[in-house]
Chains A and B, each alone.
Chain A
């Protein structure tokens, strides 16, 4: 992106008069370097605004300087009379409208292309603005930062924090406040059907850190983060309105959450749903006994102290990390901390994608401009006679120029208005197809900024496509035009149009390459073997309230019975449950300890995911058993503690020994089961947690021995439709066992897989649409140029045929004329694409950005489309009848 930006800066510098530039250019260049370095150090949102301001100011000041009297050329005697400017503008506009109205075919074509191009640009900009550029709804957002912990050799990781580490970070002088949270969900039973509500367990006053005040009551207090915390809750505005009826006495009232009465102590301001569509905030209730410095359970947001910036935090965090490593080597060896501005942490991962889309739509817009310029050139040529006559009758050249430009401007403005309407429709469409994982999607809306962008784009577009007919006019001589009006074409214009076509082909080719690469990525994504057979599996979460289910036997009893009941339903082929699920998140983890081996030194541990499961889980998810046995119903709390591991775990921890029979455990206490070694009884195949993730070492202890009280239940049916149809019966079974339990996150695993590929599909869809549009427009343009050329040279062809040229020879002539811009376009497009794919790289999966298959396919496609666009008119040219052609002139 920076390369492009620097090019823009250089272009803006060229707007200054030469004299000014030769005097101050070097110094300005140097100051710009300093200014850019300062801007690059800013957090994302401010960085983009600062650079935008810098560029706009540079361009505007350059134009003003150029317009200043000091650089105006000396007057050449008679000057166009001053005054009456508005009058003349009105005249020009009226003239333009009339002249466009006389040619409805041309006008409709131009408006359609323009409104599509501007509409697409406006729609994409609306999304980019809402996601990237718009400030967060928190005061002084630059002071807000996420604090992550990371392994020293993985400095970009976004690791969570433990409470003691969080408290040490918070106590640093550079921070004013910090708070940790963990997302959760609770059952709200206040309405007729129990429902799951998204909540967050916080370590303190989240709203205060973010700089917001509650609309009623108070925030959660840090001193409430203790074991067995007071049952208090801050509710969101929407929750207050819909569930509590917006009662003014809501604060102080009691709501029942997961069968515990909570006192409502505060109501958050409207629109506040941090961190993630959250509606309730409750104290975490941290118990340091079970979860100390090594127990990383929080994401942390902090506010830097007044007068400090997020950059100032790096030093103190580094010394804190070093200090903690000395004092707590077991937990803090090679652990670093880093900050990332809140906005970056929210949208940083989609930034490239957004700019890629913006670039793609910009290319479409350029193609549209090139095409319109071509159309206008052709039109200008056919109006040469008219212009010559008006010129002969005394219209001055500036006046004629202004008229031509006014016409372009009128066209562009109409296109811009239509474009905004098209854009509004497209934004709505984008809202439907955008992946839900796109951050800040709810903040995407058209607003003043978007309209300003639309206006700016329209102006730029008018300038770009209006320039070519204006230049054409500036170069022509009326006398010459009058003598040859209506006769054969002008070589220079033919060349200009050929160049425009070449540019269009080049741009479409690069867009096609982008679309092709995304198609291949999607193919590769769909080809990924997740290690499960999930298409016909329905899953949902069940969370048992601790108030009534409080030990392993309760948990086990409930899920065993539920699975038996579901298994008895017709059409169900397998049922099994697990703690968390692939593509569904949720799992615990820790570092691996092996019985009989010394604990690995700090920094050398292997980690493993812990996913407790019921006996039917492997069958329900289609995991293959590689060796040994799976989990049996007899593996209960009275039996020997056992565990099934995956292949990656076995390979990583037992490269040269037999894993079966070994005794393993992971560090950390999870609160449900005693800390103990488990005997490995089986090995299952690897499972990927997402389409792009590598398999991770995992162990599966029996749920009956490990817990917890919240599981994902997986139900396999004969087909996905059959299993989805079972849902009401499943709900009935759950209700029969416990009427207060809601089903959370109901989906088929197939849906989850599809939504994991949704971002790639979304980008592909947009780039694909742009590419198709681009190729279509370019093909029509190429056809137009060749057809026009043929029509202008009918007479010449007639003469040639009369002198004995064969029809293939004539067709060859035409072909050559069309092939030259195509060839240039191909070459330029290939270079452009080869350079441009660099920006696309992070959106690709499983292929090289310079994938030869994509490049060759695109070249063939462009050649085929061009050949079709050339051959049609070429074919016509070969049927010229010499006698008729000569008579026509």
Chain B
């Protein structure tokens, strides 16, 4: 297990959801914003300002990096303006994995103590 991610744990809800979204591949700002709101069921719904502030911090901490636009995608409705993409770094990937594992363990405990229903069987 990669211990480099340890100083970054546990992640805040906003950090976690942004990393989780980027786990699916590189995305640009507004797409991250929408995906975070959708995947968190609305519980984490940053606006542009907060989102970029968080992204800035994640970049500084080395969890996220800027990426070239994937080839063959729609350049966006604002010609002349750059659509910048963000992607996970290796460190970011281990951090989000580690945090997901931490949460998984917590969920398991909650099940054992009847705080959560058992998942439906296979």
Contact = CB atoms under 8 A, between A and B. Distances in A.
B43 interface: no
Interface in A13-33: 20, 23-24, 26-33
B78 A30 contact: yes
A13 to B, nearest CB: 9
A28 B52 contact: yes
A54 B49 CA distance: 8
Given A27-B28, A31-B28, A60 B84 contact: no
Contact of A54 (B29, B48, B56): B48
A32 B77 contact: no
Interface string B67-104: 00000000011100111100000000000000000000
Contacts of B49: 12, 54, 57-62
B55 interface: yes
Nearest to A61: B49
B5 interface: no
Contacts of B76: 30, 34
Nearest to B55: A24
Contact of B81 (A30, A35, A54, A59): A30
Contacts of A60: 49-50
B60 A57 contact: no
A57 B56 CA distance: 15
A26 B30 contact: no
B77 A65 contact: no
B53 interface: yes
A349 interface: no
Contacts of A26: 81-82, 84
B18 interface: no
A37 interface: yes
Interface string A598-609: 000000000000
B30 A34 contact: yes
Contacts of A64: 53
B63 interface: no
B19 interface: no
Contact of A35 (B30, B55, B56): B30
A78 interface: no
B52 A35 contact: no
Contacts of A30: 28-30, 76, 78, 81-84
Which one of B30, B50, B52, B82 has the highest number of Cβ atoms from chain A below 10 Å of its Cβ?
B52
A16 to B, nearest CB: 8
B48 A33 contact: no
Contacts of A37: 77
Given A26-B84, A30-B82, A35 B48 contact: yes
Contacts of B33: 31, 35
B53 A27 contact: no
Contacts of B52: 24, 27-28, 31, 61
A70 interface: yes
Interface residues on B, range: 20 to 34
A605 to B, nearest CB: 43
A64 B48 CA distance: 14
B49 to A, nearest CB: 3
A754 interface: no
Interface in A736-751: none
Given A54-B47, A57-B50, A27 B56 contact: no
B85 to A, nearest CB: 9
Nearest to A62: B49
Interface string B36-65: 000000000011111111011000100000
B77 A27 contact: no
Nearest to B83: A30
Given A28-B29, A34-B30, A61-B50, A20 B81 contact: no
Which one of A20, A28, A70 has the highest number of Cβ atoms from chain B below 10 Å of its Cβ?
A28
A64 B53 CA distance: 9
Nearest to A13: B49
A65 B83 contact: no
Contacts of B29: 27-28, 30-31, 34
A60 B51 CA distance: 12
A61 B53 contact: yes
B63 to A, nearest CB: 16
A816 interface: no
Contacts of B82: 26-27, 30
A32 B84 contact: no
A194 B117 CA distance: 64
Nearest to B50: A61
A33 B50 contact: no
A57 B53 CA distance: 10
Contacts of A28: 29, 48, 52
B56 A20 contact: yes
B81 A29 contact: yes
A129 to B, nearest CB: 21
A35 B81 CA distance: 15
Interface string A35-74: 1010000000000000001100111111011000010000
A49 to B, nearest CB: 12
A33 B77 contact: yes
Contact of A33 (B51, B55, B60, B78): B78
Given A23-B56, A30-B76, A35-B30, A57 B81 contact: no
A321 B34 CA distance: 35
Nearest to A34: B30
Nearest to B84: A27
A614 to B, nearest CB: 63
B86 to A, nearest CB: 9
Given A27-B29, A27-B82, A27-B83, A32 B56 contact: no
A559 to B, nearest CB: 62
B33 to A, nearest CB: 7
A61 to B, nearest CB: 3
Interface in B8-30: 28-30
Nearest to A19: B56
Contact of B30 (A20, A31, A61): A31
Nearest to B47: A57
Contact of B48 (A23, A58, A65): A58
A27 B49 CA distance: 11
A305 B11 CA distance: 39
A53 B47 CA distance: 8
A59 B33 CA distance: 17
A57 B45 CA distance: 12
Contacts of B47: 35, 53-54, 57-58, 61
B74 to A, nearest CB: 12
A25 to B, nearest CB: 9
A35 B37 CA distance: 13
A23 B84 CA distance: 10
Contacts of A12: 49
A12 to B, nearest CB: 7
A34 B81 CA distance: 12
Contacts of A70: 60
A27 B47 CA distance: 14
Nearest to B59: A23
A62 B60 CA distance: 16
A65 B30 contact: no
Interface in A428-463: none
A60 to B, nearest CB: 7
A54 to B, nearest CB: 5
A31 B49 CA distance: 10
A35 B52 CA distance: 13
Contacts of B77: 33-34, 37
Contacts of B53: 61, 64-65
19 contacts: A23-B56, A24-B52, A27-B28, A28-B29, A28-B48, A30-B78, A30-B84, A31-B33, A31-B48, A31-B51, A32-B48, A33-B81, A34-B76, A35-B30, A54-B48, A54-B49, A57-B48, A60-B50, A64-B53
Given A26-B81, A31-B52, A35-B48, 5 more contacts: A27-B28, A27-B29, A30-B78, A33-B81, A34-B76
- A-B pairs with lowest CB-CB distance, top 7: A31-B29, A61-B49, A57-B47, A58-B49, A34-B30, A27-B84, A57-B49
